[in-house]
């Protein structure tokens, strides 16, 4: 399985005799790195995603390294072209000076990076390694060998921890029905139904697919979860569910401004934060989220979870116009939630907060109704007020 938490190990090219049956680094180069990392070769091969910059066997041994082809391959990989690993948000281990130079030219960072340093640049973390095959005097220093092995081993251990970490939820929804629980693994967005919360049950678990009865049960469990969680860790006076209902009504009213379908925008707005009910994905204060998005794969993992949950809720193929309407409604709802002291808008704010309290009384049932296309008349009235205010001040496109 692929995950943004798994490092990408990039080599120059397959050896003249080709790679082993497990692909890149299944041979002497991988054995070299595994030996210094003090782990079995099979564990290394499973612990990182592996790829060679050039596909022709022996290209790395040519008397003249095809630098132009290497830069083109690095550019294609960095841009996420089909058939290449996605590098955004990931740690990229660059095995050899020529691989480093190719990516430096393609991405724009300095080519003179010292081995084993960590450079965060353009959404990825770049770590140069010495070339693990052929003559390389760098490996003659025992201290450097230990340091390089530690870098590789740490990446493998980090991935193994993420791979083996999953959390359960939804027991209250499944009780009296199928029993068991749902389990979610953040590392790769794997969602399963388990008979019981044990490693053996995870291995035998049933993947949850869109359009199945299990999918509707997951959505119900997530609705309950987001309606229990205070928005921004209780720094805002409403739950995640109340915020989602607000966004749904705002998106429906504002939809014509974006050329969007109001009914679809209503449902998408109601479900836009459902993924935050998954274990490990929940809402965090916005400044913290922005910092984490710059320094970790959090943003990509959240997008992966959002795509998964929208698919389970029947919203996986929604058009761009509806997404733009919901993005605007999300910002508008957050702005209203932060209103405190503006006298000219106090009456609208009081009506809005009264509506929030009324909606919170029924919580999950209200949000589930909205996801099915139901409209709250009070919620729509408040949304119309906010959209009118936004239109008056030029805050709509």
| Domain CATH for 119 | 3.40.470.10
User: CB under 8 Å to 344, separation ≥6 — which residues?
Assistant: none
Q: Which two tokens stand for residue 227?
A: 């309606």
Residue 236 and residue 325 in one domain: yes
Distances (CA, A) of 199 to 26, 183, 195, 279: 29, 11, 11, 17
Residue 259 and residue 382 in one domain: yes
Residue 147 and residue 18 in one domain: yes
pLDDT tens for the chain, residues 1 to 397 = 567 789 999 999 888 777 889 999 999 999 999 999 999 999 999 999 999 998 877 665 656 788 899 999 999 999 877 666 778 888 999 999 999 999 999 999 999 999 999 999 988 899 999 999 767 888 888 999 999 999 999 999 999 988 888 999 999 899 877 889 999 998 888 999 999 999 999 999 999 999 999 999 999 999 998 888 777 644 556 778 888 988 999 999 999 999 999 999 999 999 999 998 898 777 655 555 555 555 556 667 888 899 999 999 999 999 999 999 999 999 888 877 766 434 455 555 555 544 444 444 445 777 887 888 887 777 787 788 778 877 777 777 7
Distances (CA, A) of 348 to 33, 112, 326, 328, 378: 64, 59, 21, 19, 12
In a domain, 172, yes or no: no
Residue 159 and residue 264 in one domain: no
Q: Edge-to-edge strand order for the sheet containing 167-169?
A: 167-169, 181-185, 190-194, 206-207
Instruction: Label residue 314 left, alpha or beta by phi (over 0 means left) and psi (-120 to 50 means alpha).
Output: left
User: CB under 8 Å to 328, separation ≥6 — which residues?
Assistant: 250, 251, 254, 258, 396, 397
Domain end, chosen from 163, 184, 204, is at 163
Residue 153 and residue 230 in one domain: no
Residue 69 and residue 151 in one domain: yes
Q: How far apart are CA 271 and CA 323, in angstroms?
A: 11
Torsion 197-298-190-328 (CA) sign: positive
In a domain, 86, yes or no: yes
In a domain, 192, yes or no: no
Domain end, chosen from 163, 198, 216, is at 163
| DSSP alpha helix (H) spans, the chain | 28-37, 41-47, 67-78, 97-107, 142-163, 171-174, 199-203, 213-228, 240-258, 262-271, 286-295, 298-312, 320-337, 346-362, 364-371, 377-392
Q: Which two tokens stand for residue 367?
A: 């949000």
Residue 241 and residue 387 in one domain: yes
Residue 151 and residue 238 in one domain: no
In a domain, 73, yes or no: yes
In a domain, 242, yes or no: yes
Q: State the total domains in the chain.
A: 2
pLDDT in tens, 24-78: 999 999 999 999 999 999 999 999 999 999 887 766 565 678 889 999 999 999 9
Residue 152 and residue 230 in one domain: no
Domain end, chosen from 129, 145, 163, is at 163
Q: Which two tokens stand for residue 246?
A: 């607000």
Q: Edge-to-edge strand order for the sheet containing 49-52?
A: 49-52, 8-11, 91-95, 124-129, 119-121
In a domain, 213, yes or no: no
Q: How far apart are CA 223 and CA 217, in angstroms?
A: 10
Instruction: Label residue 250 left, alpha or beta by phi (over 0 means left) and psi (-120 to 50 means alpha).
Output: alpha
Residue 146 and residue 287 in one domain: no
pTM above 0.85, yes or no: no
User: CB under 8 Å to 261, separation ≥6 — which residues?
Assistant: 255, 319, 321, 322
**Which of helix, strand or coil describes residue 257?**
helix
In a domain, 87, yes or no: yes
Q: Which two tokens stand for residue 52?
A: 């060679």
Residue 152 and residue 234 in one domain: no
Residue 120 and residue 245 in one domain: no
In a domain, 20, yes or no: yes
Tell me the residue range of the domain where 343 lies.
Answer: 226-392
């Amino acid at each position: 399985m692929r995950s943004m938490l798994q490092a990408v190990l990039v080599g120059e090219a397959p050896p003249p005799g080709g790679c082993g049956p497990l692909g890149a680094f299944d041979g002497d180069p991988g054995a070299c790195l595994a030996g210094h990392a003090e782990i079995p070769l099979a564990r290394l091969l499973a612990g990182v995603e592996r790829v060679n910059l050039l596909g022709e066997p022996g290209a790395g041994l040519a008397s003249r390294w095809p630098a132009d082809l290497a830069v083109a391959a690095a550019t294609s990989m960095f841009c996420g072209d089909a058939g290449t690993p996605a590098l955004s948000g990931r740690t990229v281990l660059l095995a050899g000076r020529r691989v480093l130079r190719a990516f430096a030219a393609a991405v724009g960072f300095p080519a003179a990076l010292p081995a084993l340093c960590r450079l965060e640049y353009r959404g990825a973390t770049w770590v140069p390694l010495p070339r693990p095959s052929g003559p390389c005097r760098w490996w003659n220093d025992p201290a450097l060998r230990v340091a390089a092995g530690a870098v590789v081993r740490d990446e493998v251990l980090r991935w193994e921890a993420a791979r083996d970490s999953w959390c359960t939820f939804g027991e209250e929804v499944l009780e009296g029905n199928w029993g068991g629980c749902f389990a979610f693994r953040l590392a790769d967005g794997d969602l399963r139904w388990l008979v019981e919360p044990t490693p053996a049950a995870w291995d035998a678990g049933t993947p949850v697919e869109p359009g199945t009865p299990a999918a509707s049960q997951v959505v119900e469990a997530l609705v309950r979860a987001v309606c229990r969680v205070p928005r921004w860790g209780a720094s805002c006076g409403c739950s995640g569910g109340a915020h989602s209902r607000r966004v749904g009504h705002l998106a429906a009213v504002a939809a014509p401004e974006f050329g969007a379908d109001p009914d679809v925008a209503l449902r998408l707005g109601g479900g836009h934060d459902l993924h935050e009910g998954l274990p490990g994905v929940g809402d965090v204060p916005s400044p913290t989220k922005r910092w984490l998005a710059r320094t970790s794969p959090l943003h990509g993992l959240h997008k992966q979870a959002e795509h998964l949950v929208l698919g389970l809720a029947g919203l996986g193929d929604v058009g761009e116009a509806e997404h733009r309407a919901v993005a605007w409604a999300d910002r508008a709802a957050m702005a209203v939630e932060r209103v405190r002291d503006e006298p000219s808008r106090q009456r609208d704010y009081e009506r809005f907060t009264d509506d929030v309290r009324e909606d919170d009384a029924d919580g999950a049932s209200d949000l589930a109704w909205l996801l099915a296309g139901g409209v709250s008349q009070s919620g729509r009235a408040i949304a119309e007020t906010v959209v009118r205010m936004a239109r008056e001040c030029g805050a709509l496109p």
